[in-house]
Amino acid sequence: MTWFSSIRLRALLIKELIQMRRDRVTFAMMLGVPLMQLLLFGFAINNDPKHLPAALVAPTQDRFTRAMVSALELTGYYEFVEPAASAGQAERMMARGDVSFVVTVPSDFGRRVERGDNAQILIEADGTDPAVASGAISTLGTVAADALARETGQDAATPPAQIIVHRRYNPEGITQFNIVPGLMGVILQMILVMMTSMALTREIERGTMENLLAMPATPIEIMLGKTIPYMCVGAVQVVVVLAAAKLLFGVPFIGSFGLLGLGVFVFVLSMVILGYLISTLARTQMQAMQLTFFFFLPSLLLSGFMFPFRGMPGWAQTLGEVFPLTHFLRLIRGVMLKGATLADVAGPLMALCLFTLVLGGLALMRFRRTLD
């Protein structure tokens, strides 16, 4: 036999091409992942978000207030979604994450400006994500001073009003306060989905699937038997991350531990059920890992963990709402950093419950089809 034969090489190449065609999951990953990365990084990622929602608390909206609001909107950073909010309403909107800024103008602001009597404006920024507010805050002093100077006819070098900026929930702008709580969701998603997705495919590869199906157990009993152990693993991970967040990074914990536990439980349940659903779709452990990665990548990029959620275009934000991680990040950051109540995080919590119910129904339906 010669050391090299083009005929043998051609036969091996044909064999590999046929194998690639049969393994549709791997073939789709080779084409889909680069395309998805190109689209997401090229169009959806933006580190300088614009049109951030803001609320205006101004009992008497005089010409000076209107001039300042118009100037802020013209910068492109601010969008006053609630131009006539009360102080309590604005507080609740910021706690829920509905607005990134609250601009408070005192009732005697106009009179003080006209008299040159130390007029002040308070602008509160949601500091839970320092990257979101940095660009908008940097424009505040100059823009507001120029707008008021034009109204009063004074020199902009000596502004007629003082702009006081208060970063709420994270005054020092510490990045770890934003990243570390979010890491809990990322770690739980990556580990639990991957481990659970490989649980059923491992039975198929080892040839023990028939024994499992022959057991006198219903599909929901099998699903619970496969997912509950990994929920226990998730509980251990939660304790480790919370301890590290407090002891190593000094992340504050202002809210209710019970509320956080409820949110974590629902999220962990949705993740293990998602992994179980993937295991009913994949035929091998390698396919299960590939499908997990195909879900994990867009979830990580579009959830607001790595990049500001409000900096993404509308279509990317709509797509990001599909992923449970997006809502979990809002819940855990709201509870830990803002001290959010159940009413404040009711939206994200209900979304996680809906994901859990839908994924559980799909997993049970898919498992029944695999019993034949």
Residue-wise DSSP of 145-191: HHHHHHHHT--TTS-SEEEEEEEES-TT--HHHHHHHHHHHHHHHHH
Q: What does pTM read for this prediction? A: 0.82
| Residue carrying structure tokens 């005929």 | 7
Average pLDDT over residues 274-286: 84
Q: Which residue has the higher pLDDT, 191 or 163?
A: 191
Max mean pLDDT range (264-268, 292-296, 308-312): 264-268
Give the residue from 121, 136, 168 where a domain finishes.
168
Does 1 map to a domain?
A: no
What confidence tens digit (pLDDT) does each residue in 108-164 have? 887 887 777 777 888 888 888 877 777 677 777 677 667 776 776 665 556 667 788
* Number of structural domains found in the chain: 2
Nearest by Cα to 339 from 169, 98, 174: 169
Does 24 map to a domain?
A: no
pLDDT of residue 286: 80
Tokens representing 253? 């914990």
Where b means 16+ CB within 10 Å and e means fewer, 264-289 reads: bbbbbbbbbbbbbbbbbbbebbebbb
Contact 254, 267 (CB under 8 A): no
pLDDT confidence tier of residue 371, bands split at 50, 70 and 90: very low
**Mean of the per-residue pLDDT values for the chain?**
82
For residue 44, pLDDT beyond 70: no
CATH of the domain at 144: 3.40.1710.10
Q: Do 226 and 353 belong to one domain?
A: yes
Q: Do 238 and 361 belong to one domain?
A: yes
Q: Indicate the residue type of 226.
A: K
Average pLDDT over residues 177-206: 85
Q: Do 341 and 222 belong to one domain?
A: yes
Max mean pLDDT range (39-48, 79-88, 265-274): 265-274
Other CB atoms within a 10 A radius of the CB of residue 10 amount to 10
Q: Do 124 and 273 belong to one domain?
A: no
What confidence tens digit (pLDDT) does each residue in 100-118 have? 889 888 888 878 877 777 7
- Give every CB contact of residue 132 below 8 A, 6+ residues apart in sequence: 49, 52, 100, 126, 308, 310, 311
Residues of the chain with pLDDT > 90: what percent?
A: 16
Contact 138, 173 (CB under 8 A): no
Contact 85, 57 (CB under 8 A): yes
Give the residue from 142, 168, 194 where a domain finishes.
168
pLDDT of residue 228: 84
What angle separates helix 285-302 from helix 257-281, to the nearest 10 degrees? Answer: 140
Radius of gyration of the chain (CA): 27
Q: Do 265 and 301 belong to one domain?
A: yes
Residue range of the domain that includes 163:
52-168
pLDDT of residue 321: 93
Q: Which residue has the higher pLDDT, 103 or 221?
A: 103
Q: Do 257 and 274 belong to one domain?
A: yes
Give the residue from 168, 194, 228 where a domain finishes.
168
Does 23 map to a domain?
A: no
For residue 320, pLDDT beyond 70: yes
Q: Do 161 and 184 belong to one domain?
A: no
